[in-house]
Amino acid sequence: MIQLNINKKLNTPNGTMCLSIDMTIEKGKIITFYGESGAGKTSLFRMIAGLLSPDEGNIVVSEEIWLNTKKKINLKPQDRNVGFAFQDYALFPNMTVRENLEYALKKNQDQKYIDDLVIAMELGELQHKKTGILSGGQKQRVSLARALVQKPDVLLLDEPLSALDNEMRLKLQDYILKIQKKHNLTILLISHDIDEILKLSDKIAILKNGTISQIGSPSEVFEQQSNENVQLAGEIIGILQKSDTYIATIRIGTNTLKTAIPISEIKNYAIGDNIIISSKLIAPTIQKASK
């Protein structure tokens, strides 16, 4: 069980933002944080890992206090059993792939686990190569493997599969699920890939301007989101009068659509106006686009 309750003022390019998170995460679950860039996802991960200090709050992981600002407890990153796959991989260029993994081993930890990881991540041929020459996808696999080495209480994955091709991504998603079940890992994930989120997550938390705007199972959250209005921005390119109503032609991107405007409102619109057209999506028909 992870209890998070943290507040931190962050300086962002859009001014100061207050990151304020209060949530509980069950052990052995995968929870995904989803939201626009700058919403505070990575900062939240850094605070859990102890790389960034919150202004106030507490973090309790499996009944061990990692942070309690009132009691002035703030464990160093070294003392928190966290695995972190960084978005930019953070591999050590002076070491080979295997040395990178071995570096993450704890004292007296069995080397054999590294062999398993090397096989699972298909790093066999690369293991004695320096990391500088690897491709983005290969680096990402090494970074994920390295975060798994120490069998952490909390595994923080910051877009761990974004640079992979589809086949490898699906394979590693399966592997993450497998290893998560085997070791009962608690995984916190940042992802923008809806398919990935649906496949991996037990829960999804939507982060907006530093706070959780929605939390629940992925299907619940996405369903709720899709109930919202569809809003499209467009421009009026023509208005025609037909008996007692007006028909406006609106250009949206490269498409046009026609919609009726009541006589009482037509005086508010003219050709060339930029408008926003909203509609509720009720039972839309979905069809695969022809290639």
Partner 1 sequence: MIDWEPLLLTFKLALITTVILLVIGIPIAYWLAYSKSRIKPLMETLVSMPLVLPPTVLGFYLLVAFSPSNAFGNWLDEWLGIRLIFTFGGLVIASLIYSLPFMVQPIQSGLESLPTHLKEASYVMGKSRLVTLFKVLLPNIKTSLRTGVVLAFAHTIGEFGVVLMIGGNIPGKTKVASIAIYDEVEALNYDTANSYSLVLLLITFSILLTVYLTNNRVFKKFSK
**To which residue do tokens 């995968």 refer?**
30
Kindly state the number of chain residues that form the binding site for partner 1, as judged by CB under 8 A. 26
Interaction pattern, residues 149-188, with partner 1; x per rule: CB under 8 A: xx--------------------------------------
Work out whether 92 is an interface residue with partner 1 (CB under 8 A): yes
Contact between 139 and 91 under an 8 Å Cβ cutoff? The reply is yes
Contacting range for partner 1; rule: CB under 8 A; set: 67-75, 89-97, 223-231, 233-241:
89-97
Contacting range for partner 1; rule: CB under 8 A; set: 44-52, 205-213, 251-259, 275-283:
44-52
Contacting residue, 15, 93, 253, 262, with partner 1 by CB under 8 A: 93
Work out whether 84 is an interface residue with partner 1 (CB under 8 A): yes
Q: CB under 8 Å, gap of 24 or more: what pairs does 117-122 form?
A: 117/145, 117/148, 117/149, 118/145, 120/145, 120/175, 120/179, 121/145, 121/172, 121/175
Contacting range for partner 1; rule: CB under 8 A; set: 29-37, 85-93, 188-196, 257-265:
85-93
Contacting residue, 55, 56, 64, 88, with partner 1 by CB under 8 A: 88
Q: Taking CA 22 as the corner, what is the angle to CA 76 and CA 175, rounded to the nearest 5 degrees?
A: 70
Q: CB under 8 Å, gap of 24 or more: what pairs does 164-170 form?
A: 164/137, 164/140, 165/137, 168/137, 168/141, 169/193, 169/196
Contact between 170 and 164 under an 8 Å Cβ cutoff? The reply is no
Complex with partner 1: residue 134 or 250, whichever CB lies closer: 134
Contact between 85 and 144 under an 8 Å Cβ cutoff? The reply is yes
Contacting residue, 24, 103, 241, 251, with partner 1 by CB under 8 A: 103
Footprint of partner 1 (CB under 8 A) = 49-51, 76-84, 86, 88, 90, 92-94, 103-104, 106, 132-133, 146, 149-150
